[in-house]
């Protein structure tokens, strides 16, 4: 004789609402992960861009510093420096290792630092030819500070007469400091980078 017992089996499952909530949470999690990945990727790209820009700008002002350091008398006998302003400098030097002494001009135009070069021509030589202009550093920040500062041969002991005022710069300048602030991403002003270098002009130094 087989005894039959009443057994109750309950089959539990997910309701439609629970399924929808699970799908929503899953989608939210995936979206969050994608957002984080995008933010990290953008930050990495920005860091890479900034690093390249700062490295290039630093190399550029080091090259500029070397050229100023090697300034010399012009082919026509002019003094090594022709102009010494806050945002522009004109001097003479042999920058391409040929037989000629070029006229070199560094200047700020808009938000960029540019270099102009004029080759001498004629006999006696003159500097009236076309100026070849190249971009040196883009995205320069104009923050009110001069990019070029000039000092006499007594610097840094002489803090009274330095930096040199404009009237005394051409003849008395022995040192030049180049200071540049750049922002590779102008839309984010918090990422400014300050670069500085200096040069002692060998042909006019005191000792």
Q: Is residue 165 domain-resident?
A: yes
119-160 pLDDT, tens digit per residue, is 999 988 999 999 999 999 999 998 889 999 999 999 999 999
Asked whether residue 154 is assigned to any structural domain, the reply reads yes
Please give the pLDDT value at position 29.
Answer: 79
Task: Quote the percentage of the chain above a pLDDT of 90.
Answer: 57
- Inform me whether the pLDDT recorded for 40 exceeds 70: no
Side-chain half-sphere of 169: how many Cα atoms within 13 Å? 20
Mean predicted lDDT score pLDDT of the chain: 85
- Total tally of structural domains belonging to the chain: 1
> How confident is residue 9, by pLDDT bands cut at 50, 70 and 90?
very low
User: What CA–CA distance (Å, rounded) separates 34 from 43?
Assistant: 14
- Mean per-residue pLDDT, 148-177: 93
> Residue 199 above 80 pLDDT?
yes
5: in domain: no
Q: Quick check: is 49 in a domain?
A: yes
Does 52 score more than 90 pLDDT? no
Q: What is the pLDDT of residue 50?
A: 82
Residue 117 lies in a domain: yes
Which pLDDT belongs to residue 39? 63
CA gap 69, 81 in Å, rounded: 11
115 within 8 A of 133, measured Cβ to Cβ = yes
In a domain, 148, yes or no: yes
* Sheet with 112-118, edge to edge strand ranges: 81-84, 88-93, 102-109, 112-118, 132-137
- What is the C-alpha to C-alpha distance for residues 78 and 125, in angstroms, rounded to an integer? 11
- Specify if 3 maps to a domain: no
> What local confidence, expressed as pLDDT, does residue 7 receive?
47
132 lies in which domain range? 44-204
Answer yes or no: is 122 within a domain.
Answer: yes
Read off the DSSP letter of residue 162.
-
Q: Which of 171, 161, 173 is closest to 198 using CA atoms?
A: 173
Q: Could you tell me if 195 and 179 are in contact, meaning their C-beta atoms sit under 8 angstroms apart?
A: yes
Strand ordering across the sheet containing 193-200: 148-151, 175-182, 193-200
């Amino acid at each position: 004789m087989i005894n039959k017992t009443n057994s109750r089996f309950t089959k539990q499952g997910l309701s439609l609402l629970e399924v929808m909530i699970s799908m929503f949470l899953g989608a939210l999690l995936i979206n969050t992960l994608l957002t984080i990945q995008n933010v990290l990727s953008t930050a990495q790209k920005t860091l890479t861009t900034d690093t390249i820009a700062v490295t290039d700008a630093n190399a550029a002002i080091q090259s500029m510093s070397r050229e100023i350091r090697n300034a010399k008398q012009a082919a026509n006998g002019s003094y090594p420096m022709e102009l010494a302003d806050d945002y522009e400098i004109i001097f003479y030097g042999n920058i391409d290792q040929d037989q000629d002494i070029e006229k070199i001009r560094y200047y700020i135009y808009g938000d960029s630092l540019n270099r102009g070069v004029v080759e001498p021509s004629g006999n006696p030589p003159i500097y009236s030819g076309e100026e070849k202009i190249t971009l040196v550093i883009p995205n320069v920040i104009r923050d009110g500070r001069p990019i070029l500062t000039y000092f006499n041969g007594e610097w840094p002991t002489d803090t009274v007469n330095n930096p040199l005022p404009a009237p005394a710069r051409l003849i008395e300048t022995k040192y030049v400091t180049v200071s540049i602030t750049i922002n590779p991403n102008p839309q984010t002003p918090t990422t400014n980078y300050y670069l500085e270098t200096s040069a002692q002009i060998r042909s006019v130094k005191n000792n």
